[in-house]
Amino acid sequence: MRKSLVALFALLAVLGLSAQEFTIVNGTEPVSLDPHAVEGVPEHRIYMALFEGLTVADPRTNRAVPGVAKSWSYSKDFKTITFNIREGVKWSDGVEITADTVVKSWLRKMDPKNAFQYADLPASYIAGAMDYLEGKAGPENVKIRAVDKYTFEVQLVGPTPFFADMTIHYAFAIVPIHAIEKYGADWVKPGKIVSNGPFVLKEWKPQEKIVVEKNPTYWDAKNVGLKKITFIANDDVNVGYNLYKTGAADWVETVPSELMDEVKLRKDFHVAPEYGTYYYIFNVTRKPLDDARVRKALAMSIDKKALVEKVTRGGQVPADSFVPPSAGYTPTKGLAYNPEQARKLLADAGFPGGKGFPTLTILYNTSSNHKRIAEFIQAQWKENLGITVNLMNQEWGTYLDTRSQSHNFDIARAGWIGDYLDPSTFLDMWVTGGTQNDGLYSNKKYDELIQKSRVTSGAERFKIMQEAENILIDQDMAVLPLYFYVTQNLINLDKWDGWYPNPLNTHPWKFVRPKK
């Protein structure tokens, strides 16, 4: 009896241990482990294990909660933010993190010599930073400073009440300057890497896996619930799903859309609204798309409810506005499905019954999902407006070139996931001459409103943005929103705690733990 009891306890101990090990199918091989050089979702997840910025995402709301900064406060006009750095927070090699480390880290990110992607994110909001990034001024021009050892102050270009939320992003990462100076580009290699997150790098096999282990020197180590995380590099959705099904992985965040009907029935499948929009861009410089009536007719003749129910089938939400709903911001109403009105608008524009309407082309990047959606829209326009459109697919790199560089398209498929929870991440891109403005839309009133939103704060700011979105969608129909993305995660929440469906699909590892 006693023997079997011992065996039972031993078994429980083993189970308890392995239950603290977590494996995720992480998607494509990360481009880097250097938080300043990374971009993309797989990299972000590794970043959240190895590093910690001033703030961390709340696992439920994705708003900022304290990280290296224990608190922060805005000035009255929201143009200055002061972070109070937690005292005694150390790198994995024992060196302390101070306000000066943060200053040097952010300057490294924006240093033009380093040419880091996403450097424009901090540079767009921090006073004087854009000049530095563009090589027009030195680093002393950037308005960030260490007031004292544990106080870090940022002066902003305009009122930015969401700046603390933004600092969750890896573009605002804090890096071990002392180690980078010592090892150069090799500082991220195993054996050399110095980090400050809840986990430290144990093993890195490129194209295969990254293994991290709990960091005993992390300031909040007692609240970290996992001992080990394995990130599997994988480019194939089906393989990822199979790994999950065989129990080789605990979490996978993309499921094969062909198997959606099977996956949907699973208890461990979690669909939740995501802060992102799937949409079509109109090239407004091309006839007849330069006529707002034509664009509106095209928009009002698509039954988006049927689109998400019959074509995408993964719980996506039909979208009439470009900005997804979020706390405090009510998106514009948009143009609802109304084939009658659409036909009338098309006739007003000189194409009664679709007669004389040129054959336009829908451009999308090669994927069976995009193809099915384009075919549905092609059929809708045929049925409701009597017009014919062609479909054209291009491989990703070619498609990006066509869409953003040569602008040689009529209508192009696109998708946008917010970098942080604020409507500006959706609306800023449509200003005249914006780098992301691939449809070459230009409206002076819109530009003015966006400019105004950058120097206003509070509820007033949201009102201005809503007005701008109304112009963009209801009045001009410059872009055609189709549906809001949803996150589609497979994870067994009877087994894991501290993981919640959330709008940016950001799940900080420090909160994830086995369920008791």
Partner 1 sequence: MARYFIRRALSLIPTLFIIITLSFFLIRLAPGGPFARERDVPEAILQNLLKRYHMDEPLFKQYLRYMGDVIRWDFGPSYRYRDLTVNEIIDRGLPVSMALGVTSLLLAVVGGVSVGIISALKQNRWQDYVAVAIAVIGISVPLFVMGPVLQLVFGMKLKILPIGQWISTHGLKAIILPALTLSFPYFAYIARLSRASILEVLRSDYIRTARAKGLKESVVVWKHVLKGALLPVVTYLGPAFSGIVVGSVVVESVFLVPGIGRPFVQSALNRDYTLIMAEVVVYSVILIIANLVVDLVYGLLDPRISYK
Judged by the rule CB under 8 A, the positions of this chain that interact with partner 1 are 28-29, 31-34, 37, 39, 112-117, 119-120, 130, 133-135, 185, 188-189, 205-209, 232-236, 238-239, 242-243, 245-246, 248, 395-398, 400-402, 404-406, 414-415, 435-436
* Shortest reach from residue 169's CB to partner 1, in Å: 12
Residue 89 or 133: the one with the smaller Cβ distance to partner 1 is 133
Spatial distance between the Cα atoms of 302 and 297, rounded to a whole number of angstroms = 9
Tokens of 234: 């994988």
Residue 29, classed as helix, strand or coil, is: coil
3-state helix, strand, coil in the chain (%, to 5): 35, 20, 40
Give the amino acid at 274: E
* Shortest reach from residue 209's CB to partner 1, in Å: 7
Query: How many Cβ atoms from other residues are within 10 Å of residue 228's Cβ?
Result: 16
Q: Which candidate, 353, 352, 319, places its Cα nearest to that of 336?
A: 319
Residue 31 or 221: the one with the smaller Cβ distance to partner 1 is 31
Spatial distance between the Cα atoms of 29 and 34, rounded to a whole number of angstroms = 14
Q: Beta partners for 411?
A: 282, 362
* Shortest reach from residue 187's CB to partner 1, in Å: 9
* Shortest reach from residue 240's CB to partner 1, in Å: 9
Tokens of 95: 């060196």
Q: Which candidate, 511, 491, 505, 510, places its Cα nearest to that of 40?
A: 505
Residue 233 or 271: the one with the smaller Cβ distance to partner 1 is 233
Q: Which candidate, 111, 93, 110, 90, places its Cα nearest to that of 101?
A: 90
Alpha-carbon distance values, 159 to 54, 88, 155, 246 (Å): 19, 31, 10, 50
Residue 207 or 359: the one with the smaller Cβ distance to partner 1 is 207
Residue 195: its H or E element: none
* Shortest reach from residue 403's CB to partner 1, in Å: 9
The three-state (H, E, C) secondary structure of 454-486, written as one string: CCCCHHHHHHHHHHHHHHHHHHCCCEEEEEEEE
DSSP state of 406: I
Residue 135 or 358: the one with the smaller Cβ distance to partner 1 is 135
Residue 34 or 52: the one with the smaller Cβ distance to partner 1 is 34
* Shortest reach from residue 227's CB to partner 1, in Å: 18
Spatial distance between the Cα atoms of 485 and 363, rounded to a whole number of angstroms = 20
Spatial distance between the Cα atoms of 26 and 116, rounded to a whole number of angstroms = 23
* Shortest reach from residue 292's CB to partner 1, in Å: 25
* Shortest reach from residue 152's CB to partner 1, in Å: 24
Residue 57 or 121: the one with the smaller Cβ distance to partner 1 is 121
* Shortest reach from residue 138's CB to partner 1, in Å: 15
* Shortest reach from residue 35's CB to partner 1, in Å: 12
Burial class of residue 154, CB neighbours in 10 A (0-12, 13-18, 19+): buried
Residue 220 or 419: the one with the smaller Cβ distance to partner 1 is 419
- Under a CB-based contact definition with an 8 Å cutoff, are residues 164 and 72 in contact? yes
Location of structure tokens 């330069």: 290
Residue 174 or 249: the one with the smaller Cβ distance to partner 1 is 249
Residue 35 or 331: the one with the smaller Cβ distance to partner 1 is 35
Tokens of 109: 């990110």
* Shortest reach from residue 81's CB to partner 1, in Å: 23
Q: How far is CA 107 from the centre of its chain?
A: 23
Residue 97 or 412: the one with the smaller Cβ distance to partner 1 is 412
